[in-house]
Amino acid sequence: MEILGYFGALIIGVVLGLIGGGGSILTVPVLVYLLAVNPVTATAYSLFVVGTSALVGALKNMQKKLVDFRTAIVFSIPAFIAVYATRKYIVPAIPESLFSIGDFEITKNIGIMLFFAIIMILASVSMIRENGKKRSEQVAVSYNYLLIIIEGIVVGVLTGIVGAGGGFLIIPALVLLAKLPMKKAVATSLLIIAIKSLIGFIGDVQNMNINWAFLAIFTGLSMIGMFIGIYLNKFIDGKKLKKGFGWFVLLMGIYIIWAEIA
């Protein structure tokens, strides 16, 4: 199972490199079900893996001048405050026993995995129903500051609880609320994900003991996978794979719900 877990880390990176996102949502299931990591710890490790991977992608996009820094700052500030507060204060404050349904007790760990499964299902729907309409690259960027701040807080809290990047929420928000063209929205979302995930992870460093050696190996394998995926992207159309991966994520979300309540 441990070998499968480390192979899973490599696959996460390959998916990220091939389709530009989505792979990070596999991080928590791989850590929990293949490497037997506690769900709360797994969401913390996931923040680091997601943040590091997104940072690599963001740096590449900066070189191509696709990142809109003003939008990234406006969105990131409320998002990283929310994710840091969630990891530092809210997650540790969640009681070990949430509630019971008959003889079945919903514990903190089960609750986090069920919530994560719901987020996976929502993300899968976003991938499967990907809108083919493209916004003109010439449209002027405009802002709805209040809604961007609210969206940043919501995404920050969700990221803090489940440890996923939330790109499926961020990209539509940047397109609709900041009027960014799709390419810039995708590139800018990576910088936002990197900032809020890594700052959220700092909240965990202050609360729990981190197995740095394990985390370095897992993240390193994901990075290697990411470069393999980027290379394979020259021969395989990542967009065509995205819908298929969306169905896989949907099945994974359903499996997690079954595994936790069965």
Q: 223-254: b or e for each residue (b if 16 or more CB lie within 10 Å)?
A: bebbebbbeebeeeebeebbeebbeebbebbe
The C-alpha atoms of residue 120 and residue 104 are separated, in whole angstroms, by: 23
pLDDT at 15 over 90: no
pLDDT of 22 reads 64
| pTM recorded for the entire structure | 0.79
Cα distances (Å, whole numbers) of residue 64 to 20, 134, 183, 184, 192: 15, 19, 11, 10, 17
pLDDT of 135 reads 47
Most confident of 24-28, 121-125, 134-138, 218-222: 218-222
Averaged pLDDT, 224-240: 79
Q: Tens digits of per-residue pLDDT, 34-76?
A: 999 999 899 889 989 988 988 888 888 899 888 889 888 988 8
- Residue 238 or residue 91, greater confidence: 91
Whether the Cβ atoms of residue 16 and residue 23 lie closer than 8 Å to each other:
yes
Whether the Cβ atoms of residue 19 and residue 242 lie closer than 8 Å to each other:
yes
- Per-residue pLDDT band at 136 (split at 50, 70, 90): very low
Q: Tens digits of per-residue pLDDT, 181-202?
A: 878 888 888 888 888 888 889 8
- Residue 23 or residue 209, greater confidence: 209
pLDDT at 225 over 50: yes
